[in-house]
Every structure is written in structure tokens, then in C-alpha cells.
Structure 1
Amino acid sequence: MLGATGLAVGGLLLGGGSAHGLTRVRRAATPDEAWAKLREGNRRWAADAAIHPHQDLARRAEVAQKQEPYAVIVSCIDSRVGPEIVFDAGLGDVFSVRSAAQTIDPLVSGAVQYGPVELATPLIVVLGHQRCGAVTAAAEALSEGTTLPGDLQRIVEALRPAYKSAHGDVDKMIRINTTQTVAKLKDDKLLAPRIARGQLKIVGAYYSLDTGQVTRLV
């Protein structure tokens, strides 16, 4: 399914190259290269052809002193949506920032900023997903006018704008919340200049639990 080129790249990724006597693979340096690498990995995962790259002793040694992730993945805490699994990535490949329904607050924003600001990571992906439990719970609470216990209510309030725009439709709410989070990050004072210079892109995406496929929203 990947074709000759995809298989060749997959072979290089195994073990970071050094375990096979090959030269180190160059990090995806542009936003488009990074997105293409994530898409390639997701296609492998969805097709049950994952190669589990960069998950061995050689890779651990390679990144022990320095990391160069090519993407920041902002995703939900849902146990079924692990970014390294969904994108068939490995150690040192991506920054994984996770919160309920990929909602953001100042602490989460700071975590997202770290890669692009400190390490020139060229891509941020905000990944919503099918049947999000946090979004479903928030939609039910808002529909019934109930208050969730503890800090769970903060999640409800963060999702209120998406709920209003989606008119209670949970799947639309998931997609709208994802695009709204992308918009917030694009307006971030540290990220916006990098976007303007073409050094960074922020992509909104949706993960299907049924098919394993990631589709682009923004």
C-alpha cells in the first residue's frame, strides 16, 4: 500500500538507522514535510502495517542527549488515541500534549509553545477524535443544566462555545472544538509570528476510532 518509496523510508526509520549501519534520518524540517510524515505513519497504522519506528536501543541512545521532534500533537487524554500509536511514530519523534477534549489553558498553551519556540518544531496538530467522552459528558451537562464535580466543570465551560455552535450535535461539537482550538493557537503571540514567516503550521485533524484514519479539518 505504501509503494516502493514508502517502504524504503520505513526501512530507514527502523531503529533510527544506526542499528542497520545507515546514516541518521534527517528530521522533517518544514511544516509540509512533517505533516507528510505523520500522514504516512497514520496510513500504516490504519492499514495494520505499522513498523513501530524509533522504538529500540539505538534510538534511545540517539536521543538521550538531544531531541528534535518534528511535530507537536495536541490530543485528548482518551486511552484509544495515543499519538505515537496513531501516527506510527517513536521515541523523540513528537511532542505529545494531552488534555480532555484537547482543550487548552495557559499551562497547556505553554507546553504547546515549547517545541516551536525552543526547538523550531515546524508543525502543531490539534487532533480531535470520534466518540470523545469528554465532549459527550460536557454536551449532556450543558443540555441538562447540570454541574459536573470538581474541576470537571472547567472542561464543560471550555467546551461551551463548541456546544452552542454545534447545537448539541456531539460529533459536530468535536470537530468545531478542534477548529476553535486551532484558531486560538494561531492567535498565540509566540506562535503567530512563526506562522507568518512560514516556519510553522497548525493543522486541525479528526481521528476515527472505527477506521484508524486521521483526516484533516483545517
Structure 2
Amino acid sequence: MNVKKLGNVSRRNAIKFGAGVVGAGTLAVGVGLQPGNEGKAIAAKYPTTPDETIKALLDGNRRFVQRKRTNPHQDAAWLAEVAKTQKPFASILSCADSRVPSEIIFDQGFGDLFVCRVAGNIATPEEIGSLEFGTAVLGSKVIMVMGHERCGAVAATIKGSSVPGQIGSLLEAIKPAVAKSEGQPGDRLENACKANVLVQIEKLKSSPVLAQLIKENKLKIVGGYYDLDTARVSLVS
């Protein structure tokens, strides 16, 4: 992401300014980018609505599960095209777990997905700001918050063990989901992982930038759950 200085505004302050306003045009100006015709040829190859985008993601995952991957957008010509600009059709907030690579799971290629990864797939201010950029400026039509089976960050939160360094900040962000899932029937860890997806979705929806895009039917925020054993992504609601 190229963020130029806006007058005397630093990169950091420019991003803060962009995150506090509503509207793709205003946000683009706030981070030093102007919406234009660049990327139209790329965008034309992608789904045009949030519902079509969700279907494209799930269709790609189905190909992956069935071992029928098409490995799109990975040749030299496409790589040269997206080197000029990017228009990712979907954004993914996923766990940093090494077994959950979004482009592979959804059978996508270069420039297709705007991916933010952090342990426990939590919506920190930095992740929210990144996703605001990915949607309002770059044009992603869906944000999928994707948790996964046997998430170590969620398991550690349930155990309540003492942890070193900054790991505790991750667990603090997951605690509301653990509390929300208490007493539910079934597997405790799976319930907490899915509850965590929903908690992080609500955090994202509190963003005025994302809320405005949702109101204008330009964006949907959905939850996903990745099964490590089957490689299948199911929607969480």
C-alpha cells in the first residue's frame, strides 16, 4: 500500500485521518490516493456484487476441497498487470496460523484477495484501518472474518494461562467470545472459535467507513470457519 504525504501530514496521521471519515473518495484523498480509471480492466474480471463475491469465494474453496484447483491469476501476464495497481474483489481477516493460507484455500491468485492476518483473527485498530482501505479505496466487496478449527489463540484464552510479552493482548481481545460461548452445547473450543468470528465482525461493523459501505449495499461482512481436517470453509452466522 503506497501512502504518500499529504502536505505536512505524516503517513501515520494520514491513515488516522482516512479512518475517521466516510466515503471512498474522501478516504482516498485522506491517504494521498485519487480514485481513477486505473484497475478497471482488473476489476472487470471480478464479481460485481457482494453476493456474487461470497459465491466466488465458496466456489474457489469447493475446488480446493475437491482437488480441482484452477490456480487463477498466477501467470506472468497477470503478475505484470497487477504490478501496476490492485483491485482485490474480497478482503479476508484471518488467523496467522500457518495452515490457513487464504489464496490457496479459496483458489485465488495475485491481487485477488486483500488479506490481513493476525493470531486469533482479531479486529485490532490496525486491522480495521487496513480493511477500511481495502474496501473503501481498493474496492473489495466482501470482508470475511475467518476463524478456524483448533485455533491456538482461542484455546489459550480458554485455559487462561499466564503468557509472556504481548501475547496477552491477543487473548484479551478474544475473552468476550469465550464468555459469549459459555454454556453452549457441543465442543467448547469450536463454539468459542465461531463466537470469536462474530465478535470481531461486530467490531468491524462499528467502523463508520465500513458501516457506510454496508448501508450503500457496496459491502457485506461475513464470517467463515475453516476446518483443518477437511479444508472446507463454512459460513458462520
Indicate whether the TM-score tops 0.5. yes
Q: Distance in 2 between matches of 1:165 and 1:65?
A: 44
The size of the alignment, in residue pairs, is 192
TM-score normalised by length of structure 2: 0.78
Partner residue of 2:68? Answer: 49
The alignment status of 1:163 with 2:178, answered yes or no, reads yes
Cα deviation digits, residues 149-193 of structure 1 (max 9, x gap) = 010001111111111122282111000000111111122111001
1:28 Cα offset (Å): 1.4
Partner residue of 1:208? Answer: 227
Q: Distance in 1 between matches of 2:199 and 2:176?
A: 9
Counterpart residue type for residue 82 of structure 2: V
1:120 Cα offset (Å): 2.1
1:26 Cα offset (Å): 1.9
1:90 Cα offset (Å): 0.4
Counterpart residue type for residue 157 of structure 1: E
Partner residue of 2:48? Answer: 29
Contact 2:123 2:204 in 1 (8 A): no
Moved over 4 A (4+): none
Cα deviation digits, residues 19-51 of structure 1 (max 9, x gap) = xxxx97622121011111111100000111112
Q: How does 1:62-81 map to 2 (within 5 A)?
A: 62-81=81-100
Q: Secondary structure at the match of 1:81?
A: coil
Consecutive unaligned residues of structure 2, counting only runs of 5 or more, are 1-40
Partner residue of 1:187? Answer: 206
Q: Distance in 2 between matches of 1:36 and 1:124?
A: 13
Q: Distance in 2 between matches of 1:84 and 1:53?
A: 10
Counterpart residue type for residue 159 of structure 1: I
Q: Whose helix proportion is higher, 1 or 2?
A: 1
Partner residue of 1:86? Answer: 105
Percentage identity across paired residues of the two chains: 40
Consecutive unaligned residues of structure 1, counting only runs of 5 or more, are 1-22
TM-score normalised by length of structure 1: 0.84
Q: Distance in 1 between matches of 2:71 and 2:156?
A: 33
Q: Distance in 1 between matches of 2:111 and 2:85?
A: 9
The alignment status of 1:139 with 2:158, answered yes or no, reads yes
Query: RMSD over aligned Cα, in angstroms?
Result: 1.5
Cα deviation digits, residues 115-174 of structure 1 (max 9, x gap) = 111122111000010011111112112xxxx32101000111111111112228211100
